[in-house]
Structure 1
């Protein structure tokens, strides 16, 4: 066997009383696979899938140590004894594949509200969270005792459940123990406030209780920040000192570092284009201050990046969440020197958006994420009878359908009318902050080429052509076309009637058309957003990057509110403002008269005029391009297997197209 190109990454390392087989670590993240506050068989499959493919250490998602830490109903309770048999199931499945498994007890403190729990928010001091803005109850000594005992009980259940260890959380990300540690949020004048020794008191008592329950044969670690990232918070030197005090106690086997609080959540789970490994400089300071293994994170998505940071001594383990959501086989592929086959994390944060919608964990281009029992590795079966399959449309849904059908043994031809594959993903990746999104198309294209799919670009597949060529199955993935009628959902009665006057002029474009074209520098562009999603902001960024002077106008109360789901609204809004963009809200489009755009205030009905506009771009949604499907539909009665997927079925998102492509490929 050839030597691995990642020698440090694939070297074992002692972790307290146990040995990790390599330096990869799956860090904790919410899944919403929880039912009735306990883990499920879906969790068993989810963690086992990553263990099976080589991950060395898995920290399961954070679990509440007390009833006052319940941000939503899909949160597990580590103090509940019902967790013990579930731990045993997961531990058995993970240990079968040689990975170590850890629990992560946690408390949100002020970074939640009382809606789901029915209890007041607890915090060391009456300082509200910038996101939830609910005034906390100032914890009494009795409350502090209850939290300490919640951590103790959580550690006891971890031992009873056969886990390898416990990672004490809440010191990172601005959660409860971070709130005790930081002078920005701890204004107490008792034994738990003031000096660092006092602010560290509860943390050390919890670590002591955890070690007492775990004993010497289990791993005890801590999850901390290496930088809070905000004024008045704890910075790298502060965290290095805190880590040194914790490890000097002899109670801690490792330190896992992260960044950020809810004041700046893009430091916790940043979207593209955050630089990969952005947390490592601060993490290295912590490593230099302790004599225990240090775990580092921060958008590390390739084996080469992981090896670089490990070899440089920035950390001892590399932790990943989103990269392993995107590809559970990341470690195995890296070990086989097949890094090019790793499905990349592109920083889209669809995993976050899914959780925000109270849906189980998902990935923009891994349809099996959260559905490992149905769609995971080894579940795809060869077709009993190979068929001749045509897939029409080379976007992500069409490529996924072609790949899955080919992997099942079918003879597959993919038709694309354009000169390149990738559909709207290619368009969106033209915006500077979304260039990584092209990884979705690049990976799928590489896989279908390797699988032997026949690819015919610059080819319009017609009804006659497809029937003449004798295809048994046809998948229609012809996508959608941007709307230009000018109406928003405020006017449902006009949606399919006469368009807004002037929207048929040549300087009026749909957002898809604007992303395909280049714009002359210095032009004044107005983008009108009727959706509130990412379409308009991506297009606005692209236009501004071309040198246009852009105004962003919407009928909504704020620009692009849907970006709250992926947690990057503030980051994106700030980026566009720094690019010189102007914003106007609460305005309905009334008419476009050459360079004059007429708008009307949604609430006051006052008219507002913009003059001297060179280009108007409309982000109003899209229309399914399903004509070929309907032309072929009568042939179903003669035995043609015909399927409609993606935007051609209903214009939505790339993840929907890919899931439907996977389902179509499996069903043929």
Structure 2
């Protein structure tokens, strides 16, 4: 493919709204970053967005759900724009982003019924009608005329703070928030001038934007994050949403529509529409946006799993979007735009859609631990003062990252992997049809190792002699682990989740009991994987709910699949014993709350209890290591080089990372590797 440049690539063309020119068409939408310190945009948040500006982005929007009033509380660590205290923070923030050539805006909102009455000031939540919100569980007070006029005024005051803080503009938020609650017939059942007809339900939004415009003037950029369709009978329809948008356009108070789809007041809505994850189609709503765009003339922005550059490019080229939002793609790689400009699109670290960024606060990436840790970890690895010989044993995610970072430092790197394929446990996880994109985490690193010239030796089970023969300065043990079985009798009768994932066909037409003693993705994924292969699956967990360690959006998708496949779930049960009864197996459990015993019959029992470190090689190498295999934790946490112990001329530095230490998840393993190796 011919490399597009700044003059031919649609993504790299500038775009102007009023007095703000965006240097390119790529943006990051506002989201809940999770950095808030007493509601203020402090240093960590500023660094997080400055990194995107440094990486070439055209517009970075921050502060998802930033509050304009005290009765819109900080449910998930939002910013507080209801006080002048925020202004000096904004002035510093805007300068930091502007110095790199990017524009910066914020999202202002009032949560309405989406708030919580038991945090911050313990004020009752408010809404157009007293209709309960199911995710945040609020039963709101119905707003009176005083509340309506007060909140309208507070929107205007918050907008002035944006302007005085040097921000290039702002957007308000409709979908699921207070303004959207007025617009939707399901959450607005008023009989006064703010309820009933579409024109009446739209009145509050129009008055909010009229007040904002009155306070900041006609030259300031003001947009709206706007829901196209709530996709549920009795809620806001596509036709009504379009008619309302056309009225707002005629008012002349809106400079852009940032379009979203669906509802955010249910976990399913969040997972499937608001922030579609790994199993949802890529860019699922671009066709809807195109249809909406055909009926309005105001500039259109949009974000929803647009993670591939070519998809973004086509959306701009076809005139569907004026600014294309690649928010989670920037969480994965804040230097995405610079890589496009250099013709290095294949080097962009991919977003794989796991929703890890939604699950963690601050919002980081499942395989980029530098995101949200910009003050401690680098996105761009700096070369070491002198090259060293680094041997990495194990080609799972921890070993791949250790090899990549060490090679970026300029070291000579050898990577041993016993299997014929790199990726380790990622390869097992990616066998599940709904998580196959996980392979991209390993594939990206494989590409980077090839670019960096790492000596990768597959199908080589390294022993002590093999490693010593390389005369290494540093040895990183990333040998992973093996399935762990503990605390019950009859282990020899059980299968691991690894067995279930690798050889699902042998469980077809059998009754399979899966015991989850971990609470991560492994057991629920295996349950559906086996059900798809024809097994009848029963699921038992030690926790008090399915997928205890997962975020809400990921958990709800597991729950949905369990319902679709008829997989029952038993909770609060600790596996005690598995025994053979004739041709079948009996699994006995102890209830965590009642101490009662419960037995289930099955043809096969599959157990998930994490992994046991495969650390024999590490222990064999400790005696010859100058640091005796000890990783200095204070130095690691302080992001300082490991202290030099012993005679460096005669000994090697030895460390172990990932599941070679303990049963680690993807992010933990990558984090282990980056924070150790970026200073090796």
Q: TM-score range by the shorter chain?
A: over 0.9
User: Aligned to 1:375, what secondary structure does the other structure show?
Assistant: coil
Which residues of 2 match residues 488-507 of structure 1 at below 5 A? 500-505=488-493
* C-alpha deviation, 1:381, in angstroms: 2.4
| CA distance 1:362–1:548, shift in 2 (3 Å) | same
Equivalent residue, structure 1, for 2:293: 287
- Of the candidates 128, 134, 137, which is equivalent to residue 133 of structure 1? 137
8 Å CA contact 2:186–2:234 kept in 1: the answer is yes
User: Aligned to 1:158, what secondary structure does the other structure show?
Assistant: helix
User: Aligned to 2:27, what secondary structure does the other structure show?
Assistant: strand
Equivalent residue, structure 2, for 1:204: 206
Deviations 1:152-202 (A, max 9, x none): 111101111111111122x02x11111111110111122221122221111
| CA distance 1:481–1:404, shift in 2 (3 Å) | same
* 1:618 and 2:607 aligned: yes
8 Å CA contact 1:432–1:545 kept in 2: the answer is no
* C-alpha deviation, 1:4, in angstroms: 4.2
Equivalent residue, structure 2, for 1:592: 578
Equivalent residue, structure 2, for 1:234: 236
Deviations 1:81-122 (A, max 9, x none): 122122122211222222221121111111131222222112
**Mean CA deviation greater in 265-274 or 275-284:** 275-284
- Of the candidates 655, 662, 665, which is equivalent to residue 674 of structure 2? 662
Alpha-carbon distance in structure 2 between the residues aligned to 1:364 and 1:389: 25
Equivalent residue, structure 2, for 1:456: 457
8 Å CA contact 1:481–1:512 kept in 2: the answer is no
Gapped regions of structure 2 (runs ≥ 5) = 627-645
- Of the candidates 171, 176, 193, which is equivalent to residue 167 of structure 1? 171
User: Aligned to 2:407, what secondary structure does the other structure show?
Assistant: helix
Alpha-carbon distance in structure 1 between the residues aligned to 2:337 and 2:285: 21
Equivalent residue, structure 1, for 2:548: 561
8 Å CA contact 1:394–1:421 kept in 2: the answer is yes
**Mean CA deviation greater in 179-188 or 93-102:** 93-102
User: Aligned to 2:225, what secondary structure does the other structure show?
Assistant: strand
Alpha-carbon distance in structure 2 between the residues aligned to 1:60 and 1:605: 49
* C-alpha deviation, 1:442, in angstroms: 0.8
Deviations 1:527-563 (A, max 9, x none): 1112222111111122223232222122333322333
* C-alpha deviation, 1:605, in angstroms: 5.4
Which residues of 2 match residues 505-520 of structure 1 at below 5 A? 505=493, 508-520=494-506
Alpha-carbon distance in structure 1 between the residues aligned to 2:428 and 2:552: 20
8 Å CA contact 2:585–2:604 kept in 1: the answer is no
* C-alpha deviation, 1:26, in angstroms: 0.7
Q: Please identify runs of 4+ aligned residues in structure 1 that moved more than 6 A.
A: none
Deviations 1:500-543 (A, max 9, x none): 232212xx212223223343332332211122221111111222
* C-alpha deviation, 1:434, in angstroms: 0.2
Alpha-carbon distance in structure 2 between the residues aligned to 1:590 and 1:394: 35
Q: CA RMSD in A?
A: 2.0
User: Aligned to 1:44, what secondary structure does the other structure show?
Assistant: helix
* C-alpha deviation, 1:608, in angstroms: 4.2
User: Aligned to 1:148, what secondary structure does the other structure show?
Assistant: helix
8 Å CA contact 2:75–2:115 kept in 1: the answer is no
User: Aligned to 1:295, what secondary structure does the other structure show?
Assistant: strand
8 Å CA contact 1:58–1:100 kept in 2: the answer is yes
**Mean CA deviation greater in 269-278 or 543-552:** 543-552
Alpha-carbon distance in structure 1 between the residues aligned to 2:652 and 2:597: 55
8 Å CA contact 1:214–1:220 kept in 2: the answer is no
* C-alpha deviation, 1:412, in angstroms: 0.7
Which residues of 2 match residues 286-325 of structure 1 at below 5 A? 286-325=292-331
**Mean CA deviation greater in 62-71 or 591-600:** 591-600
* 1:80 and 2:83 aligned: yes
Alpha-carbon distance in structure 2 between the residues aligned to 1:108 and 1:46: 24
Equivalent residue, structure 2, for 1:261: 264
- Of the candidates 561, 583, 586, which is equivalent to residue 569 of structure 2? 583
Equivalent residue, structure 2, for 1:628: 617
Q: How many residues align?
A: 644
Alpha-carbon distance in structure 1 between the residues aligned to 2:247 and 2:378: 43
Equivalent residue, structure 2, for 1:151: 155
* C-alpha deviation, 1:19, in angstroms: 2.5
User: Aligned to 2:314, what secondary structure does the other structure show?
Assistant: helix
Alpha-carbon distance in structure 2 between the residues aligned to 1:316 and 1:238: 23
Alpha-carbon distance in structure 1 between the residues aligned to 2:430 and 2:352: 11
8 Å CA contact 2:22–2:59 kept in 1: the answer is yes
User: Aligned to 2:421, what secondary structure does the other structure show?
Assistant: coil
